[in-house]
Each structure stands twice: as C-alpha cells, then as structure tokens.
C-alpha cells in the first residue's frame, strides 16, 4: 500500500532546533545546491528568501528552464518542483532529470491533492517527499534539511559500496595472482629440485664434467624463466596501478620489430615455423622503446605458440596517412567472438591452448593493451574459429 506523507503531518517541529541542525552541517553553503521550480513568481521569491541563507539556490519558472540550468552545469542535490505547471508538469520534469542527476532528492510542492498526480510523481519522477500548499516555513526548512541529509547519506552509501567492490576486486586479483604464481612456479621449482637430486646422485656415481655443465645450464635456464615470470607479474601490476613512467621517443618501427623477430627464431624453428616480416616503408611512431619491444615480442611469441608446426607467422607493417598499423597474423585455431570480448582482460585464459604445451599466464594481452594505450594507440583482434587470428596495433604516425 502506497502512503503519501504531507507536510501537515510534521507541524510540531521547533524552529530553533531546525536552524541549529543546519548550522551543524559539515558542508559549505555553496556546496549545498537547491533548485526550485514553480510557475508562480511570488512563490519562487518566497522560497528563495527562505532558503538562500542556508543553500546555494537557483530558481526556474518552468521545467524546460530548469533543465537548461542543470544541463548548464548546476547539479542540485535537492529539487523542489511544483506539480501543476504549463508546458511540462512537475512529474514530467522530475522524470526527465533522472538521466542527468540520478542521485538528486526530488520534492513535489503543490496545492492539489489528486491521488493519481501524487502516485505519478512518486513512481515516474522518483519523488522522495510530497509537500502541500500552504506550508509552514519551519516545517519546510526541516524537510529540506532532511532531504539534504538523505542525499549525503545516499552518496556515502554509494561511495562505500564502490569502495567495497574495489576491495573485492583487488582481493580477487590477489587470489588469482597467487594462483598463477603457485601454478607457474611449481613446475620449474620441481625441475630444479630434480636436477639438484641428479647432481647429488652424480657425485656418488662419478658424473663427468660435461654432465655437471649440462645440468647447471638447465638450472640457469629454468631459473631465468622463473625470474621472467615474476618480473612480468610485477610489471603488469605497476602498469595496472598507473605507476609506470614511459620514455616516449620517435622511432623507426621496422628495425625494432625485425630485432624482436630475430630473437624469436629459436622457439619458432623448434616448431618449424617461419616468421615473415613485410613493410611498405619505414614509418616512425612515438613509443617507449623498451616497452614497445615487450609488446611486439609478446604478440609474435603468442602467434608462434598458437600456430601448429610447419606454419607461417606474418608480421606486416602498413603506413597509413596518420597512423601506422602492425598486424601479427597466425595460422592457429582462431578465437570465437565470445572469447574475443575477454581477450585483453587480466588473468583470462581462453579455451585455445598453445600447440606445443607452452606456458601462458593470462597476463600478456592485458599488459599489451595497457602499454599501447599509454602510447596513445589501440590494439584489437580479428579472428574466426578455424581461420587463425590477427592482432592489430595502431599507433599515431610521426611525420617530420
């Protein structure tokens, strides 16, 4: 059952208490914004005189004029609107304000008592209180004070809810991060322990110098993988926290990408994969050289990981009028449209797996996206299941 409370039900309030409550507000008058809408000028004058000592007041003689005030940058915490106005009723006006100021507390002030008007105001206009004319100044002051109090309490609730959601998100990230570390460090640690056991056993069985040298080399390789993983995790977190400072300079992208491809020839040759680089010129872009290497190495190594043996990875550099596009295309299984929407999110592991069991932490593409955005570019994927995937970087071109 809907119960509408009018101002007459609050007629026993003491005026001195009301003023004391207003003076105790922790907010400055200028920060407490009140918008009053009524088509009768003498009512606007009376209400402005009543509330100006307490609030930052703006008035309007119609709903259309009040909307212009809001759209012009005056964001009220509380709105008082007359119900019966020509052109646009109070209900219609208040319902329109929801898209601009959803958190604002809305009050209807009218001399009419039609039940349908009242219910429409509350249901359509998201009205907090309904006040009848005539009013007592003391009662009206107290009700508007309560409206501001309700607004600030609601605002604090939203802030607390957002803070709680942020803490829950951080907690999930830490849990996922620990899961990745536990999973991806467990295997190399097991390998190191196994190699250490082999050294101990070899000492008893007369291992040759060559055996010790081979095992030591393998231990170094596995340890470097662990250090790289930890470094990637720390870098990804620094990027996510906005603590990474980039050194942006103009660079020719062709030799940078060629160097990254050269460094990936060994893992590519192990799968008999060719990496082919083509460029229609030698364009320059403004990037951080170290992190641009990281981005290109990540995308090309992914293309190698997800391509079957004997295939070709194509890296194409295309010079456009204002931008430079770098396209990394593989011959892998492709990515579904649903999974493409999650590609650049942190810790996402898709159903597609590297073709030779290579490692994947789910951090790489998230880091790539953040870095490219910091370099004023964008990155996206074009793919369909069964037809490979193409990752495209687009960066602003430096033109001398």
What CATH number did the domain enclosing 185 receive?
1.10.287
Following CA atoms 278, 282, 285, 289 in sequence, which dihedral angle do they give, to the nearest 10 degrees?
A: 80
Nearest to 395, CA basis, from 294, 236, 250, 278 = 250
Nearest to 273, CA basis, from 326, 329, 229, 317 = 329
Query: For residue 338, what pLDDT is reported?
Result: 79
Nearest to 375, CA basis, from 245, 257, 282, 252 = 245
Per residue in 277-290, pLDDT (tens digit) is 999 999 999 998 88
274 in the same domain as 197: no
Identify which has the larger pLDDT, 15 or 245. 245
- Report the half-sphere exposure of 111 (CA within 13 A, side-chain side): 6
- Name the domain boundary from 114, 147, 162: 162
Instruction: Give the integer Cα–Cα distance in Å for 274 and 304.
Output: 9
Return the minimum-mean-pLDDT range out of 147-156, 175-184, 294-303, 320-329: 175-184
254 in the same domain as 235: no
Long-range contacts of 327-331 (CB under 8 A, 24+ apart): 327/390, 327/391, 327/392, 328/299, 328/300, 328/302, 328/303, 328/390, 328/391, 328/392, 329/303, 329/388, 329/389, 329/390, 330/302, 330/303, 330/304, 330/306, 330/388, 330/389, 330/390, 331/307, 331/388
390 in the same domain as 352: yes
Taking each helix axis as running N to C, give the angle between helix 137-205 and helix 41-51, from 0 to 180 degrees, rounded to the nearest 10: 60
Query: For residue 18, what pLDDT is reported?
Result: 36
Q: Which domain holds residue 203?
A: 169-240
Tokens encoding 245: 């400072």
Is 70 exceeded by the pLDDT of residue 354? no
Give the number of other Cβ atoms within 10 Å of residue 257's Cβ. 22
- Report the half-sphere exposure of 271 (CA within 13 A, side-chain side): 25
Report the predicted TM-score, pTM, of the whole model to 2 decimal places: 0.49
Tell me the percentage of the chain whose pLDDT exceeds 90. Answer: 27
Q: What does residue 383 show for φ and ψ, rounded to 5 degrees? A: -165, 160
1 part of a folded domain: no
Tokens encoding 44: 């606007």
Number of structural domains the chain divides into: 3
42 part of a folded domain: yes
Query: For residue 392, what pLDDT is reported?
Result: 95
Tokens encoding 241: 């926290």
Q: How far is CA 152 from CA 31, 148, 325, in A?
A: 11, 6, 49
- Name the domain boundary from 240, 271, 296: 240
Query: For residue 9, what pLDDT is reported?
Result: 41
Per residue in 163-222, pLDDT (tens digit) is 888 787 767 766 666 665 665 677 677 778 888 888 887 766 677 778 788 888 888 877
390 in the same domain as 273: yes
Across the chain, mean pLDDT equals 79
């Amino acid at each position: 059952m809907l119960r509408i409370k009018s101002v007459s039900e609050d007629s026993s309030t003491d005026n001195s208490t009301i003023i004391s409550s207003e003076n105790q507000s922790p907010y400055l008058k200028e920060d407490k914004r009140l918008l009053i809408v009524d088509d009768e000028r003498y009512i606007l004058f009376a209400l402005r005189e009543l509330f100006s000592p307490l609030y930052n007041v703006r008035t309007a003689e119609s709903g259309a004029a009040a909307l212009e005030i809001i759209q012009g940058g005056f964001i009220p915490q509380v709105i008082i609107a007359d119900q019966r106005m020509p052109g646009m009723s109070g209900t219609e006006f208040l319902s329109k304000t929801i898209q601009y100021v959803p958190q604002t507390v809305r009050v209807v002030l009218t001399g009419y008592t039609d039940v349908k008007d009242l219910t429409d105001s509350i249901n359509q206009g998201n009205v907090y209180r309904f006040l009848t004319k005539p009013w007592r100044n003391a009662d009206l002051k107290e009700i508007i004070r309560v409206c501001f109090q309700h607004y600030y309490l609601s605002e604090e609730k939203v802030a607390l809810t957002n803070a709680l959601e942020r803490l829950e998100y951080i907690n999930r990230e830490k849990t996922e991060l620990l899961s990745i570390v536990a999973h991806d460090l467990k295997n190399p640690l097991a390998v190191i322990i196994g190699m250490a056991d082999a050294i101990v056993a070899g000492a008893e069985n007369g291992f040759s110098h060559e055996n010790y040298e081979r095992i030591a080399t393998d231990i170094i390789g596995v340890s470097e993988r662990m250090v790289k993983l930890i470094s990637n995790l720390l870098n990804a977190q620094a990027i996510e926290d906005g603590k990474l400072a980039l050194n942006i300079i103009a660079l020719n992208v062709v030799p940078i990408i060629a160097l990254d491809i050269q460094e990936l020839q060994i893992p590519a040759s192990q799968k008999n994969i060719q990496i082919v680089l083509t460029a229609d010129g030698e364009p320059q872009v403004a990037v951080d050289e170290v992190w641009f290497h990281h981005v290109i190495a990540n995308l090309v190594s992914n293309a190698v990981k997800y391509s079957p043996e004997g295939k070709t990875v194509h890296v194409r550099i295309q010079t456009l009028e204002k931008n430079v596009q770098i396209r990394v295309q593989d011959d892998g299984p492709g990515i579904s449209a649903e999974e493409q929407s999650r590609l650049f999110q942190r810790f996402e592991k898709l159903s597609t797996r590297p073709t030779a069991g290579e490692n994947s932490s789910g951090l790489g593409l998230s880091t790539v996206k953040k870095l490219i955005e910091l370099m004023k570019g964008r990155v996206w994927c074009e793919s369909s299941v069964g037809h490979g995937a193409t990752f495209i970087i687009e960066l602003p071109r430096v033109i001398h």
